[in-house]
Structure 1
Amino acid sequence: MRPRFRLILTCAALLPGVAIAQEVPVDGTPHGQIAIGAGVAPDYDGSDDVRAIPFLLGDIRYHGITLEFRGLRGRVDLASDPRLSVGPIIGARLDRKDADGRVGLLPEIDMAVEAGGFIGYRFGGDRFGQGSIQTELTVVHDISGTYNGLLVTGSAGYAAIRSADTFLSVDVQTTWANADYSRTYFGITPEDSARSGLAAYRPGTGFRDVGAGLSAGHYFSPHFGVIGRLGATYLVGDAADSPVTREGSRWQPLGGITLSYRF
């Protein structure tokens, strides 16, 4: 496996909420954190190559509304309840271009724009959230015409450590994909089979992957800290059986480390 270096931002789909508990300013001004650093992500769905990526995170809260950034994905949490989270989401899915080997002979896939919504709920935990379990369901649909499909992701995370300056959490997740998504990223038409030498393949609807990860952060001053993420998904079902994946890998890693600033 060799790294592919491109200046892009990734949609960190595995990354749960990373906000460290802060006192709300008495003057009602915006508060939160912004973090940027470097990481790695799969070159494309099913690839065994990785690409170097800038790693961007952000949580900005104002009057009970939270604006969150996770790479190429942004969302707005409209719930003022500290346990409930709900709102719209929009983001992008990376392209598949300049792939190596026989996958490179398949049609290129443009970057997709996805929109949808999410809802989550936090169970238990102290005033900082330590010991809590965060559950979430996210639904997005392609609105750019790239794959015209639907993805549904369910996740659960456990806040093992959470204080004013430090957090450590672990999480698990799985994604269900409809046939339109699966056939775009993992399917091979008879014409593409003749061109590439890969067997023709027509996947259907079903679960795409299961995954797990660990996120950690620490603020070593009132404003500056570090946040890191290490995780991976494992392709299952029709996605795992695709010749695209067999040319690459079922393991899809994602990780990075950032310098964070809170205000």
Structure 2
Amino acid sequence: MFRPTMLACAFVALSASVSQAQEIEADPSPHGVVAIGAGVAPDFDGSKDVRVLPAILADIRWRGVNVQVGGQGLRADIVSNSRLAFGPVIGVRLPRDDADGRMGLLPEIDTAIEAGAFVGYRFGGNEGGQGALETELSVVQDVSGAHDGLLATARVSYFAIRSDTFSLSLDARTTWVNQDYARTYFGVTPAEAVASGLAAYRPGSGIRDVGMSLTAGYWFSPRIGVMGAVGANYLVGDFADSPITDEGRRWQPMGALTVTYRF
């Protein structure tokens, strides 16, 4: 799934559950799930502060194609297969601006547009999807010039419970980033060190973080329900050692709560 850093945990898990919640119908008309609510996510990678953001998600199937919207991004599963998923993805990474303290003395980072593709496969599970294990790899590249970086995210989700009224899933993931991304968001140049008082730092490419989340949903009726997700990412390696992280924290908590409508 597309993974803008701000919403990596909450909305990826939420969108995955929305995707699993819908029924595969023979009806050729559009059908799916729309979810509206609010979420919290770190201000930026490594931040100790969080911001509240609107959560607007949609998973709509029409003529064998799934279009999924959420987390400041969009993707389309163009493979009409209940096990295999593949297609393009585009997302927005929110800017790093209005930071407090010494972080506010660093240059601001513009909004980034990231585009790429994803591929996934679901193993096992009964007819309703319960017990299924879903794996996915997404790769995106900045196409806006904000960081010029490349990110690759691997995810595994387990759909522990899925009934007509209740669903529960667990999600684990990790993201690799290249040097351009690492130095834009976690690096400090000598000139920036003088201006901010932070130590100069030049991180390399590598695993940025590991994370887990829990998503649950409850349907009050065939049409109306609620869905929520909680989780966190944990910065590792060069990213944990960055002065940016020292000013913030390694744990990056996130969560969301939505009202869902199925049609």
TM-score, structure 2 normalization: 0.94
Q: Secondary structure at the match of 1:202?
A: coil
- TM-fit CA distance, 1:22: 4.1
Read off the aligned partner of 2:96 and give its amino acid letter: R
Distance verdict in 2 for CA 1:242–1:64, change over 3 Å: same
Instruction: Kindly indicate whether the alpha-carbon contact (under 8 Å) linking 1:232 and 1:251 is maintained by their aligned counterparts in 2.
Output: yes
Distance 1:46 1:116 in 2: 24
Q: Secondary structure at the match of 1:48?
A: coil
Distance 1:99 1:226 in 2: 33
Distance 2:215 2:196 in 1: 39
Other-structure match for 1:3: none
Other-structure match for 1:150: 150
Distance 1:23 1:187 in 2: 46
Aligned counterparts, 1:177-216, within 5 A: 177-216=177-216
Aligned counterparts, 1:22-101, within 5 A: 22-101=22-101
Read off the aligned partner of 2:7 and give its amino acid letter: A
Instruction: Kindly indicate whether the alpha-carbon contact (under 8 Å) linking 2:41 and 2:50 is maintained by their aligned counterparts in 1.
Output: yes
Instruction: Kindly indicate whether the alpha-carbon contact (under 8 Å) linking 2:232 and 2:253 is maintained by their aligned counterparts in 1.
Output: yes
Other-structure match for 1:242: 242
Q: Secondary structure at the match of 1:38?
A: strand
Distance 2:23 2:114 in 1: 34
Distance 1:228 1:213 in 2: 10
Distance 1:65 1:231 in 2: 29
- TM-fit CA distance, 1:58: 1.2
Q: How many residues are matched?
A: 255
RMSD, matched Cα: 1.4
Instruction: Kindly indicate whether the alpha-carbon contact (under 8 Å) linking 2:6 and 2:41 is maintained by their aligned counterparts in 1.
Output: no
Read off the aligned partner of 2:144 and give its amino acid letter: S
Other-structure match for 1:13: 8
Read off the aligned partner of 1:165 and give its amino acid letter: T
TM-superposition CA deviations, 1:188-244 (whole Å, max 9, x none): 000000000000000001000000000111110121110101010000011111000
Instruction: Kindly indicate whether the alpha-carbon contact (under 8 Å) linking 1:10 and 1:54 is maintained by their aligned counterparts in 2.
Output: no
- TM-fit CA distance, 1:137: 0.2
Q: Which runs of 5+ in 1 are unaligned?
A: 1-8
Query: Could you tell me the percent identity over the aligned residues?
Result: 58
Instruction: Kindly indicate whether the alpha-carbon contact (under 8 Å) linking 2:36 and 2:258 is maintained by their aligned counterparts in 1.
Output: yes
Q: Which runs of 5+ in 2 are unaligned?
A: none
Distance 2:159 2:187 in 1: 38
Distance verdict in 2 for CA 1:196–1:136, change over 3 Å: same
TM-superposition CA deviations, 1:23-81 (whole Å, max 9, x none): 44544110000101011100111000000111122100011110011220110001111
Distance verdict in 2 for CA 1:11–1:236, change over 3 Å: closer
